[in-house]
Amino acid sequence: MVEESDLKQWRDAGHVARRTLEGIKGEIVAGKAWDEVIDSAERFIRRHGGTPAFPVTISVNDIAAHYTSDHRLTAPDGWEGEMVFQKGDLVKLDVGVHVAGAIADNAMTIEVGNGGKHTEQIKAAKEARDASIEKMHPGTPWHEIGAAAEQVHKDAGFEPIRNLCGHELTRWNLHAGTSIPAHACGADNPGFKGGVELGSIYAVEPFNTTGKSGMVENIPPSNSSNIYRVTGNITIRKAMAKNKLKPIGATMARYIEERYHTLPFAERWAYPLLEKPFPGEEEEILRKKWNALVKKLISIRFLETYTALRCEDRGLVGQYEHTVWITEGGPEVLTVE
């Protein structure tokens, strides 16, 4: 529960997150590379007093979520052509900001070139988010929140994505346990017990699709998002005591934990840290060392990786998201300019 007296940093994070979306959306134009927009957004966050709470993600067309560029600019599996925006692309820009661990998470969907191909889908995603937020008063059951989003999507002729959810936020924790349905899950669904809690902070993010399945699937391989996170399940000291980490591995793990705590981080952020213990090493050798390090840190449960997601039947995906704080009078949207 977040008290009013503790809310300033959450509001500050929300302001920066929203300003980033508004400040960067104009850069999503035909001919611009995905990684240029990602880099620009992350620099915007830092320039305006925040820190990325997770790597800025760009998800185009049937890609639904969790893709950020790596340092080699590797395209998602199955993506044909360059990672450059084309007129008519449906682009999800998802931005998270933290201020001393207080997190704001927001997203919007943009049609490249504003040609009107996706106007109704974009409108439905935004209205579904707002319909869910309007219901978020203390005590409202979660199934009512999801039903509100689904109704908007169905009325507009789109399917809600059923296996992506909103999430509770706590300090330094992007996914704090409670999941928020974005479909009519039913009152007895065991995955969505209880309801909206006073003083809690939630990221509300219904997705829709032009496909029929209403489901997303993983894009291979398991680290296709290029995003990792320190789990907090094992300490570096304990790993060394059990001979699970060599000194160089422990040093790298410490570098990562000190910078990112338990918030998600990009491969391209952490990869250059290898240059400290291995100055002047060739790229191919550094790459092998990085892969071995990540494999080891995942195997001992120090790190986990995220998978990029796409619509199961390749439908085009839309998304809008706000972060809200629950007061006695209802939701206060924190991701506002």
Active-site annotation, residues: 94, 105, 167, 175, 205, 321
DSSP sequence for 183-247? S---TT-GGG-SB--TT-EEEE--EEESSSS--EEEPSSTTTT-EEEE-SSS-HHHHHHTT-S-H
Please state, in angstroms and rounded to a whole number, the distance separating the CA atoms of residues 125 and 112.
Answer: 17
Q: Check: CB of residue 233 under 8 Å from CB of residue 301.
A: yes
**By three-state DSSP, how is residue 1 classified?**
coil
d(CA 117, CA 60): 14
CA 33 to chain CA mean position, Å: 20
Burial of 172 (0-12, 13-18, 19+ CB in 10 A): middle
Residue positions counted in the chain: 337
E strand or H helix at 119 = helix 119-134
